Chain A
Amino acid sequence: MSAVNATPENLSEILSGEDIAPTSKAPAAAIPARRTPYFETESGKRFIEGTLNLFKNAIPPLLGMLLFVAMWALVSNSGKTIPGPAETWDAAVVLFSDPFYDNGPNDQGIGWNILNSLYRVGIGFSLAAAVGIPLGFMIGRFDFLNRMLSPVISILRPVSPLAWLPIGLLILQKAEPASIWVIFISSIWPMVLNTAAGVQRIPQDYMNVARVLNLSEFKVFTKILFPAVLPYVLTGVRLAIGVAWLVIVAAEMLTGGVGIGFWVWDEWNNLNVAHIIIAIFDVGIVGLLLEQALMLIAKRFSYE
């Protein structure tokens, strides 16, 4: 029995110090008394320091989240149109208790919606990487190509991703490939531009090494170009996946089908605002995870 399990009934008993005899823990508690107390040993001190650090690092983000939830509660209380944190939480618990049900194309679990969106992002983004990264390498390596393509890229890059949707629908005829096309066209630019910048910024020293050693083009690529440019490529990939995940919600709202963006629109038509808020958190958390995963990969490949 310990203070943690205290109830009003046994509290006085604990406080009076008569909480010793009947439990089997008593002999175990007697042994540490003869040794150095745990919190004065080396590992004990490290444990205290670690715990303190944990609190120091955890307090600011926790405080931020708390403030955010408090403001949300305030707004929902004053207006009554937006569901508050508690209400949303209850709805989320129900929603996530069965994420993979399937009642036909217009009523599927939240898990299916997220996976469908991730699938589209995955396809569009992979195609963009397959085209964009080699293109970036070539633009960086050949100045002629760079000057040839830079006006075209400069014009196409600032175009809003959704402006490409009608073109996609026109050419591809179907909604599914059209939304993948939108992901492709919006996520290709960061990868092209970052890869090209990486190739252009390879230190001359490395290329001199290649020239002095007379390395073959293959060796130059595998031993110098590729490792030197990889951090830049990964930055491009990271930015691109962020853009792709931003764009998919909007694209799906327009094209329909199964997906988190369509789901948001569907819930809006049902006037289920709690689900819309849940969707916003979902999109945010999945985006955060995607970016963090790529950050981890990028860290593994940075040599500076």
Chain B
Amino acid sequence: MQSYVQIENAGMVFSTKKGRFTALTDINLHVDQGEFIALIGHSGCGKSTLLNLVAGLLDATDGVLLLANKEIKGPGPERGVVFQNHSLLPWLTAFENVYLAVEKVFGSSESKAQLKARTKAALELVGLTHAANKLPGEISGGMKQRVGIARALAMEPKVLLLDEPFGALDALTRAHLQDELMKIVAATKSTVIMVTHDVDEAVLLSDRIVMMTNGPSATIGDVLTVDLPRPRDRLQLAHDPKYHDLRSQVLEFLYSRQMRPKEAA
């Protein structure tokens, strides 16, 4: 079977004032439809850069990226992005923020009532029906992030791209949203690529964990398959030796194999 997202020998070189900076080299990754991939690595390893390449916000300077056998050229609504800092437009209500995306994707083929129904459904999916008419400034950080997720999901994207979506949230809110995300992904069978720096989050949510080496010239160090059965429950996993084994494998990669980037390079 052909992979859904294909990244072939992708590399990214930034031209900065101090000269050329190689962020990524030789990235090869195939993602199947319905798969949940976590990208993990130390900060500055280029995991967000890789996500932005798939999103089309950056153009790869080397190699090629394909989505459903089509080359990725620029951003598009078939790839829903949830940004690290929610990126809601502060002058639009939660409903209007989601509606803006819905209108763009389905506006040409559907009536206004249908568009509104889609927006409502997306907000309901993340449990925010009651806050639909609130401005982003009036709701909590966790709720803002959920509106961001609703906006991305409402576009019915082929791939959902999450850039440390829960990084700025407190631990309890984060756990709650992780559980919700698992349910939503199970229901919508979305293909997901998620950047994270949280080992537990990566093991809990993903089917495969892509571990990146330290930058500059970062690349994929190792890929770990998480073959824990779904649906997963965080309380049961806490006593699961397999979970702890996977977790320690990721920790081992991050803290012994990639601990000192300067010496390794």
Contact of A206 among B74, B79, B80, B87 (CB under 8 A): B87
On whether the beta carbons of A214 and B137 are closer than 8 Å, the reply is no
Give every chain B residue within 8 A of A228 (Cβ-Cβ).
Answer: 91
CB-CB under 8 A from B79, the residues of chain A are 212
Chain B residues within 8 Å of A54, by CB: none
Least CB distance from A302 to B in Å reads: 10
Note all chain B residues with C-beta closer than 8 A to A224: 89
A223 to B87, CA, bound (A): 14
Residue of B at shortest CB range from A215?
B104
The reply on B125 being an interface residue by CB < 8 A is no
Interface residue range, chain B: 20 to 34
Contact partner of B57 (CB less than 8 A), chosen from A208, A215, A303, is: A208
Partner of A214, one of B76, B83, B89, B135: B76
Contact: B55 with A223, CB < 8 Å?
no
The docked-state distance in angstroms from the alpha carbon of A227 to that of B88 is: 13
Is A211 part of the contact surface with B, judged by Cβ < 8 Å?
A: yes
Complex CA distance for A28 and B90, rounded to whole angstroms: 55
Q: Is B77 an interface residue when CB atoms closer than 8 A count as contact?
A: yes
Identity of the chain B residue whose Cβ is nearest the Cβ of A211 in the assembled complex: B75
Interface size class of A (residues with CB under 8 A): 10 to 19
Flag if B90 contacts A223 (CB, 8 Å): no
Question: With A208-B57, A303-B135 given, is the CB distance from A213 to B87 under 8 Å?
Answer: no
**How far is B169's CA from A134's CA once the two chains are assembled, in angstroms?**
40
Q: Cα distance A209–B91 when bound, in Å?
A: 14
Asked whether A214 lies within 8 Å of B91 as measured between CB atoms, the reply is no
Contact call A223/B100, Cβ cutoff below 8 A = yes
Partner of B90, one of A208, A213, A214, A303: A303
A205 at the interface (CB under 8 A from B): yes
A213 to B135, CA, bound (A): 20
A303 cross-chain contacts in B, Cβ below 8 A: 90-91, 135, 137
User: Do B85 and A214 have beta carbons less than 8 Å apart?
Assistant: no
Q: How far is the CA of A283 from the CA of B76 in the complex (A)?
A: 55
Min distance, Cβ A203 to any Cβ of chain B, angstroms:
8
Pairwise interchain contact A227-B87, C-beta atoms closer than 8 A: no
Pairwise interchain contact A209-B87, C-beta atoms closer than 8 A:
yes
A29–B47 Cα gap in the complex (Å)? 79
Q: Cα distance A218–B74 when bound, in Å?
A: 19
The CA of A274 and the CA of B195, in the complex, are separated in Å by 73
B10 at the interface (CB under 8 A from A): no
Task: Name B66-89 residues within 8 Å CB distance of A.
Answer: 74-77, 79-81, 83, 85, 87, 89
Known: A223-B89, A227-B89, A303-B137. A205 touches B83 (CB 8 A): yes
Q: CB-CB < 8 A to A215: which residues of B?
A: 100, 104
Residue in A214, A219, A223, A227 whose CB lies within 8 Å of B75: A214
On whether the beta carbons of B104 and A304 are closer than 8 Å, the reply is no
Task: Compute how far the CA of A201 lies from the CA of B127 in the bound complex, rounded to whole angstroms.
Answer: 33
Q: Using an 8 Å CB-CB cutoff, how does the interface string of B131-175 with A read, 1 for contact, 0 for none? A: 000010100000000000000000100000000000000000000
Contacts A213-B104, A223-B100; A304 near B77 (Cβ below 8 A) = no
Smallest distance from the beta carbon of A188 to chain B beta carbons, Å? 27
Bound-state CA distance A213–B79 (Å) is: 9
Query: Considering the chains assembled together, what is the distance between the CA atoms of A205 and B85 in angstroms?
Result: 8
Name the residue in A205, A208, A212, A224 with the highest tally of chain B Cβ atoms < 10 Å from its Cβ.
A212
A212 and B81 contact, CB distance less than 8 A:
yes
Give me the 4 closest cross-chain CB pairs, A-B, nearest first: A205-B87, A227-B91, A303-B90, A211-B75
Known: A205-B83, A209-B83, A304-B137. 4 other contacts (CB 8 A): A211-B57, A223-B89, A223-B100, A227-B89
